[in-house]
Structure formats: C-alpha cells, structure tokens
C-alpha cells in the first residue's frame, strides 16, 4: 500500500479519468491556470490543454448547465463547484434538468455528468463556505450522491462514477484534503453502491459518512478503552442508500448513534433514524441517538466552530447516554 493525501488521491483519479477517455473533461472555477481551489487539478492545464481543462466564470448555474448539455451531447464532463454553499446557485439546473431528463424523456436521454464539490467545516472559513448540505441532494431522485472519506474512495469513486449513465454528485469534505491514508491495492475503480464497516463491534453502531468518519473512529477508539466495542459504519453513498447494511449492523448491536455534520432539524441523520425505527424497531434496546451540528451558521472563531460541530467527545457522550452511564 502507498501512503498519499486525500488531495493526491482526488488528483490521481482525475488524471486517470482524463487519460482513459478522450470524452472526459474538467470544468469549473479556477481549475485551469490556478490549479484548482484545493490544488486537485494543479498542472493539468499544461498536461491536457485548455480544451479539456476549462476555467469558467463565477456562475454556477451557467457552468453546471453547460455540463448537462455536454453530457447530453455524448461527452463525460466533470464539473467542479468550489463549495457546496455556492452549489445552491445551480440547484435549478440540478433538480429540474440533470435529475429529471431521463424520466421526462421516457428513458430516451441520459445525463452522464459528474459534479464534484467541497463540503463541510473545520477550516475557519466562516458560514458561507462551511456547511454540509449533501443530505439536501440525497433528497432528489434521479441522481447518485457519494461521500468518499478515504483516499481509496476519493480516487476510485470518481472512476466508477464516470461509468454511470445518470448524474453523480461527489461531496469531498474540505477538511480531508490534507489527510494522509493508505491507498488500497487492486483495481482503481471502487463500488459506489454499498456502505462499508470501518470497525467491527458488538455494543453500539456508529453510523456516519464523509468528514465525520474519522471523528467517529476516534470516538470508537476512546470507547474501546472503556470496554465498549463500537461498530463504525461508513455510509459512503447517501443515494441510493444501502440501508440493508445499516440494519444488519443495528440488529447485531441493538443500539445506534448517527453522526451527521448537517444541522439536526431535517437532517440526513433524521432519515437514517427513521429507517432504523421502521426496519429494526424490535431489535433496539434504546432509541436511536443523533450527533449533529448546532443549529447556527458555522462560526468563524476556531473555538466556536469546534463547539458547533460533532466531535469525538460528543459521540462518546451520546453512547454513554444510550448505555445508561
């Protein structure tokens, strides 16, 4: 296994995609000459040229719409949106065009589009650049929503997504870009339909995705020192949701805590909680618990930002409450 950063894994996936298929091109704000806001396309303009690495105006609706048109025309565009907050400017194109055209055309058209965007907090860039809105996108039928949390997924999910006939949205937690991890051996493309158990346990299921995975694993390590064996489930794919893997875990542990960096009200954690209650209610020894962000715009000061977000100690506390400690 090779140790690389999450940023390097994303870059490797992008380079492989561009090398494999001449129909693939990258477009977005600052992806060319600047090398990408998060340096994921650094050097690509010189390597692949301006036809395949296209800088766009600061107009998310325009360039996401252009990506949809290119996909309808037979290309395989990868559209990079600088941050999830700004993706809301393209929501009309996403909801009313990308997600609906196959249905509205009776299957005559598909939109093989991949949209990548940074999500999440923890970097002191304040409220307009820090929210976790991937659960909003998981509400939309007609698209696939991925949340890679490991370097292997960051590299391989993109390659698999480009084989899909319908739009795929990849949410890369911005806090992870500098994280190092071991790149697993094997084929570069990875499954984009199943959740993954990142740590096995028998006492409680900790269910999460994206940037919260590593905080959850840290909490599981802390709990293990107390003799509590927590199973950590990385959802990886929010739509279509692999609820069967979640229910299998909860049937074994009889307790569940859902960790989600979004706000608690109307969160994806609420959807997971509801599906657990619907699917394995009689296997539960206690109600499903949730650890989410505080219901405020993400603050700028570090101590307030940290306080607003799910943290390992909050996850541990939630488990203690479930176990009556």
What does pLDDT average to over the chain? Answer: 96
The pTM of the whole model exceeds 0.95: yes
At residue 325, the pLDDT reads 80
At residue 2, the pLDDT reads 82
Q: Per CATH, the architecture of 2-183 is what?
A: 3-Layer(aba) Sandwich (3.40)
Active-site residue list: 60, 129
Q: Which one, of 242, 166, 150, lies nearest residue 198 by Cα?
A: 150
At residue 302, the pLDDT reads 95
Give dist(CA 315, CA 325) in Å, integer.
14
Query: Looking at domain 196-322, does it have CATH number 3.40.50.920?
Result: yes
At residue 189, the pLDDT reads 83
Give dist(CA 72, CA 37) in Å, integer.
27
CA distances for 166 relative to 17, 22, 210, angstroms: 17, 19, 22
At residue 117, the pLDDT reads 98
At residue 268, the pLDDT reads 97
Beta bridge partners of 181: 4
CA 272 to chain centre: 15
CB contact set of 273 (below 8 Å; sequence gap of 6+)? 256, 258, 288, 290
List the pLDDT tens digit at each of the 325 positions of the chain. 789 999 999 999 999 999 999 999 999 999 999 999 999 999 999 999 999 999 999 999 999 999 999 999 999 999 999 999 999 999 999 999 999 999 999 999 999 999 999 999 989 999 999 999 999 999 999 999 999 999 999 999 999 999 999 999 999 999 999 999 999 887 788 999 999 999 999 999 999 999 999 999 999 999 999 999 999 999 999 999 999 999 999 999 999 999 999 999 999 999 999 999 999 999 999 999 999 999 999 999 999 999 999 999 999 999 999 998 8
- Structural domain spans, the chain: 2-183, 196-322
Please give the torsion angle defined by the CA atoms of residues 302, 305, 307 and 313, in that order, rounded to the nearest 10 degrees: -90
At residue 187, the pLDDT reads 78
């Amino acid at each position: 296994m090779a140790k690389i950063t999450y940023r390097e894994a994303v870059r490797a996936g992008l380079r492989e995609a561009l090398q494999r298929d001449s129909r693939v091109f990258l477009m977005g704000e600052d992806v060319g000459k600047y090398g990408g806001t998060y340096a994921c396309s650094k050097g690509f303009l010189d390597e692949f040229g301006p036809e395949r690495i296209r800088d766009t105006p600061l107009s998310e609706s325009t360039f996401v719409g252009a990506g949809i048109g290119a996909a309808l025309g037979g290309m395989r565009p990868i559209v990079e949106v600088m941050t999830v907050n700004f993706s809301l400017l393209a929501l009309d194109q996403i909801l009313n065009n990308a997600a609906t055209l196959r249905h509205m055309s009776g299957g005559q058209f598909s939109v093989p589009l991949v949209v990548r965007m940074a999500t999440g907090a923890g970097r002191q860039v304040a409220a307009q650049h820090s929210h976790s809105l991937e659960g909003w996108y998981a509400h939309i039928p007609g698209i696939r929503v991925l949340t890679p949390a490991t370097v292997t997924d960051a590299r391989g999910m993109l390659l698999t997504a480009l084989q899909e006939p319908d739009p795929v949205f990849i949410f890369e937690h911005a806090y992870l870009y500098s994280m190092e991890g071991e790149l697993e051996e094997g084929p570069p493309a990875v499954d984009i339909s199943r959740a993954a158990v990142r740590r096995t346990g028998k006492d409680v299921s900790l269910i999460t995705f994206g940037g919260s995975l590593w905080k959850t694993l840290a909490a599981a390590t802390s709990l293990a020192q107390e003799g509590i064996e927590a199973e950590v489930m990385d959802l990886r794919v929010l739509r279509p949701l692999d609820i069967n893997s979640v229910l299998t875990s909860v049937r074994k542990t009889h307790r569940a805590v859902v960790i989600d960096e979004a706000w608690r009200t109307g969160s994806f954690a609420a959807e997971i909680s509801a599906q657990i209650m619907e699917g394995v209610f009689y296997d539960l020894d206690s109600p499903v618990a949730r650890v989410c962000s505080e219901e405020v715009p993400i603050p700028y000061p570090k101590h307030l930002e940290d306080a607003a977000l799910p943290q390992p100690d909050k996850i541990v506390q939630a488990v203690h409450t479930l176990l009556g400690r």
